[in-house]
Amino acid sequence: MYDVIVLGSGPGGYVAAIRASQLGLKTAVVEKEALGGICLNWGCIPTKALLKSANVKEYIDHAADYGLSVEGASADFPAIIRRSRGVADGMSKGVQFLMRKNKIDVISGFGKLLAPGKLEVTDADGKKATHSAKHIIIATGARSRSLPAIPQDGKRIIGYREAMSLPEQPKSMVVVGSGAIGCEFAYFYSTLGTKVTLIEYLPNILPIEDEEVSKQLEKSFKKAGIEVLVSTSVEQATAGKNGCEVKIKNAKGEAQTLQCDVVLSAVGIQTNTENIGLETLGVKTDKGRILVDEFFRTNIPGVYAIGDVIPGPALAHVASHEGIVCVEKIAGHNPTPIDYNNVPSCTYCYPEVASVGLTEKAAKEAGYEIKVGKFPFSASGKASAAGAKDGFVKVIFDAKYGEWLGCHMIGAGVTEMIAEAVVARKLETTGHEIISSMHPHPTMSEAVMEAAAAAYGEVIHL
């Protein structure tokens, strides 16, 4: 009998398990594939390895801009994929070590709820075993969503998982959907020399970001040779022996047919909630997502859910925080519920995109009177020295109380910079406190201080 069994070992599941063990609860994790889930094995980590290879190639391509001469450099696609898989394998082994270190039992197989406190696990050979726990946490995550118009075959029409392990580099690719996954793969393949067309149904790429950021990224992508088609729908994608045919329609209703080697469908995710016993127990769901309260309790006592299977942002760092809050509540602590208005969002293409809080449009729609400040990296000494002048930092403050409503960044390394805004907003910092907090020079992070100063008419370097 366990205190806690976690179903799924992604960044929600394994973090929940470690925290439960730290709090003295006897814990097990059930996992049907590799420890670390999608994030470590087929998501966050291996994609960042691929993007780093693209980044290095970009440096080499522009070596002359830095006074360097490089000859005969070329991308070895299979070697890039191998490096990425090696990084992922290393991270998964790291989670194995953490499980041992924290004395967490790892049960391999597919888990299914039989009753409150009872979980059946079927291993790879089809053998079934039943395990008991006072508390069961569902952390089964999500997978690439498949649309009827874009039927994935895993070879020509693919999801993100196949996109990071293709046997050879395609000469041309159509990427459908321009969220973080679509933009990251569009950048990766384009930088390696694939002709990429990025298609978005909505008027802007990265549609959940601030409009100015989206427009800047579109400009940067077009400059890099990526064809960007917005307000465009994919009517049908079909795979043939030698490639794919993609029928599209723009906002005016004009139809066009594109030919390419590979279609990457990046139109979102669907939850892994099938066949895990939710119906048997009567766990409430809505549109495939499990309904929970602020401490991740479902309507069935002793059954919890975290991560991509519940409503909210499907992000690794969100799942991890949810797991910690969930088990701290189970252990009788008094954790603070998560503030979903202060979740950072990051996209790791080039230039990078990072944001937290309200966009300018959302702040106005919420009825705030706002002060907006922008500071372009073209005015940053560090950005000029680094040859990374694309992009800007944009900040939004409430004019009445100085509350930091939103922060939006596009540029080199901004995914490392956004944490300043997240912490400051958590501490209810005002714009003037940011302006009077000394930022080191020369750094990209000075742009945050300068943008805040711009919002209050005090900017120095513009």
Catalytic residue among 62, 333, 441, 461: 441
Q: How far is CA 178 from CA 52, 109, 266, 294, 309, in A?
A: 20, 34, 7, 31, 22
**First CA to last CA distance, the chain:** 65
What is residue 418's three-state secondary structure? Answer: helix
Active site (annotated) includes residue 441: yes
Instruction: Encode burial over 59-85: b for 16+ CB neighbours within 10 A, e otherwise.
Output: eeeeeeeeeeeeeeeeeebeebbebbb
Tokens 């459908």 sit on residue: 176
Q: How far is CA 412 from the centre of its chain?
A: 17
> Do 7 and 30 meet the contact criterion of CB atoms below 8 Å apart?
yes
Instruction: Encode burial over 25-50: b for 16+ CB neighbours within 10 A, e otherwise.
Output: bbbbbbbbebbbbbbbbbbbbbbebb
Helix axes 211-223, 180-191, angle to 10 degrees: 20
Alpha-carbon gap, residue 173 to 243, rounded angstroms: 10
- Cα torsion 203, 206, 208, 210: sign: negative
Cα dihedral angle (272, 274, 279, 283), rounded to 10 degrees?
Answer: 0
Degrees, nearest 5: CA angle 339-340-344: 105
Judged on CB neighbours under 10 Å (0-12, 13-18, 19+), 425 is: buried
> Do 122 and 128 meet the contact criterion of CB atoms below 8 Å apart?
yes
Alpha-carbon gap, residue 3 to 132, rounded angstroms: 8
Please report the DSSP string for 250-318 in residue order.
Answer: -TT--EEEEEESEEEE-S-EEE--TTSSHHHHT--EETTEE---TT-B-SSTTEEE-GGGSSS---HHH
Q: How far is CA 204 from the centre of its chain?
A: 18
Positions marked active-site = 441
